Structure 1
Amino acid sequence: MVRSSISRPVLAAALALPAAAGAEEITVFAAASLTTALAEIETAFEAATDHDVVVALAGSSVLARQIRQGAPADIFISASTDWMDAVEADGLLEPGTRVDLLGNSIVLVASGSDAAPVEIEPDLDLAGLLGDGRLAMALVDAVPAGIYGKAALDGLGLWDAVAPQVAQADNVRAALAFVTAGEAPYGIVYATDAAAADTATVVGTFPADSHPPIVYPAADLATRDVPAEAEFLDYLRGPEARAAFERQGFTLLAP
């Protein structure tokens, strides 16, 4: 069961139906950019194990803050090592369970299906491309996709020219929605999010050396200890989940 918001995480557990004998319910807090892949993985894992998975999707910064405030999550999959570091520093990870699971890239997307490609380099006139429009991004000081995007623009010397035109969203999927709805002509999102959009076109990929490496760590949280948690983490590194991640364009990091 996928939750697109974590505003009522306690209710999610409280209202859950009784599980089958031997089955367990686990709550997974995951970066919004994992939405499509985790929907497939959740269904397959539940069918294979009879466990019930509740997935709460949001920006990694929001998820980390909720975990640090005591939200009853079992697994955390972040789009940023920094936010996983913050949770780990509070002693909230089960020792030895953290693993760098996935990699990603960031791209410039344009509204519509026939936008012309651009070369993303220091000479790019991104402000000129925007005209009077906005550049959709996830929160540039909190959400990993926004942080990576701002870092890339900074590294290429493009940030100062476009900063006044940036429209910030709570997470990367919300930023993509601005573009697909035609509310912003361009946006910066993960390549994997762009692959899930029918009404947006990838017009360029940011050079990998223009921003820090994009790494998705996963870990078991120290809130409780049930076998289903370890089973789910193992499943994320298994062939079925790896195939699902690859279909969405993620780079596989964990062996």
Structure 2
Amino acid sequence: MTGKQAIPGFGGLKRAATMAVLGLGLALAAPAAMAQDVLVLAAASTKNAVEKLASQFKAKSGATVTSSFAASSALAKQIENGAPADIFISADLDWMDYLQQRNLIKTDSRVNLLGNELVVVVPKGSPLKPDLSKGGKLADQLGDGRLSTGDPSNVPVGKYAKAALEKLDQWTAVEPKLARADSVRAALVLVSRGEVPVGIVYRTDAAVDPGVEVAAAFPPDSYPPITYPAALAASSKTPAAAAFLDYMKSPDGMAVWKEFGFVPAPKAP
């Protein structure tokens, strides 16, 4: 017999082998499809907690969470200007409302995630005890120094600080001595380095910087309840983003927030 002898069933075996290889490829590709990057734009005060949550989420899901932290105002403007984002976490309701009014978040995903407290910090070891009494003399205590906080025109911590000082009849005297920072963490650094004698930040920020200590806490009724809303960005197409948002508000996620000093979101009035 001349020529190659046909092997019975060879074509079927070849097809089966090809399908097996394709199937293996799909099986290997499936985890990769799940392990999509999630981009989070989050208020500066959430940095330490979000980074730990991201690490835990990657261990559970394989998805990498990349985060960018700044003042909520700056992040909202970035999203408005077309910056890519999957999740936005704001330190106040106003900037989330700003994006919602422009159809830049998925409204049905929006949730009030966290709460916080407003405190006064001083450099570690400072003897200064800020006067937060009604009509007190905080401005006089500053002497030639300045008070750092977020810019009250747009940074949430600065807006809360202004509201509290107005309630205590101290805003007019303190305003000329403000060091207006572009985020709460920037305000914190000024105190930690001893560049200013006093700062107004969130309690959670004070807890992560060993260079400062809490010298006083504002009365809770002196400023609007601090609320951190979170939502999916309207442009997000990453399935893992919704999963990460769910994880952040799950019991395991809330345990991490609590570890860093955050409290449950205030109840809506």
Assess same fold via TM > 0.5: yes
Residue 209 of structure 1, CA deviation: 1.1
Residue in structure 1 matched with residue 234 of structure 2 by the alignment: 222
Instruction: Please name the residue that 1:195 is paired with.
Output: 207
Whether contact under 8 Å (1:237, 1:254) holds in the other structure is no
**TM-score when normalising by structure 2:** 0.84
Unaligned stretches of 5+ residues in structure 2: 1-30
Aligned-residue offset at 1:114: 4.7
SS in 1 for 2:231: strand
2:138 maps to which of 118, 121, 126: 126
Query: Contact (CA 8 Å) 1:195, 1:249: kept in 2 or not?
Result: yes
Aligned residues: 237
For residues 125 and 62 of structure 2, the distance between their equivalents in structure 1, rounded to whole angstroms, comes to 41
Aligned 1:41-190 pairs, distance under 5 A: 41-118=53-130, 120-190=132-202
Moved over 6 A (4+): none
What letter matches 2:184 in structure 1? V
Unaligned runs of 5+ in 1: 1-18
| Amino acid of the structure 2 residue aligned with 1:146 | G
User: In the alignment, is the contact (CA less than 8 A) between 2:41 and 2:89 conserved in 1?
Assistant: yes
Distance 2:196 2:107 in 1: 43
Q: Deviations over 1:221-245 (max 9, x none)?
A: 1103332011011101112221111
After superposition, the Cα gap between the structure-2 partners of 1:254 and 1:189, relative to the gap in structure 1 and judged at 3 Å, is: closer
Q: Confirm or deny that 1:251 pairs with 2:263.
A: yes
Residue 234 of structure 2 is aligned to residue 234 of structure 1: no
Q: Is the 8 A contact 1:33 1:193 kept in 2?
A: yes
* C-alpha spacing 1:61/1:70, structure 2 compared with 1 (3 Å): same
**Take 1:187 and 1:123, find their aligned partners in 2: how far apart are those partners?**
18
**1: CA distance, partners of 2:37 / 2:52:** 17
Q: Which moved more, 1:232-241 or 1:48-57?
A: 232-241
More helix by share: 2
Letter in 1 for 2:240: A
Q: Deviations over 1:166-214 (max 9, x none)?
A: 1011100000000000000000000110111111111111111111111
Larger gyration radius, structure 1 or structure 2? 2
Deviation at 1:252, TM superposition (A): 1.6
Per-residue CA distance 1:21-70 (angstroms, 9 max, x = gap): 53101100000000111111111111111001110100000000011111
- Of the three residues 217, 239, 242, the one matched with 1:205 is 217
Q: Name the % identity.
A: 45
Q: 1:7 maps to what in 2?
A: none
Using the TM superposition, name which of 178-187 and 244-253 deviates more.
244-253
Q: Which amino acid aligns with 2:229?
A: P
CA gap of 1:36–1:167, structure 2 versus 1, over 3 A, is same
TM-score when normalising by structure 1? 0.89
Distance 1:168 1:254 in 2: 27
Q: Does 1:38 align with 2:50?
A: yes
Give the Cα–Cα distance (whole angstroms) in 1 for the partners of residues 63 and 55 of structure 2.
10
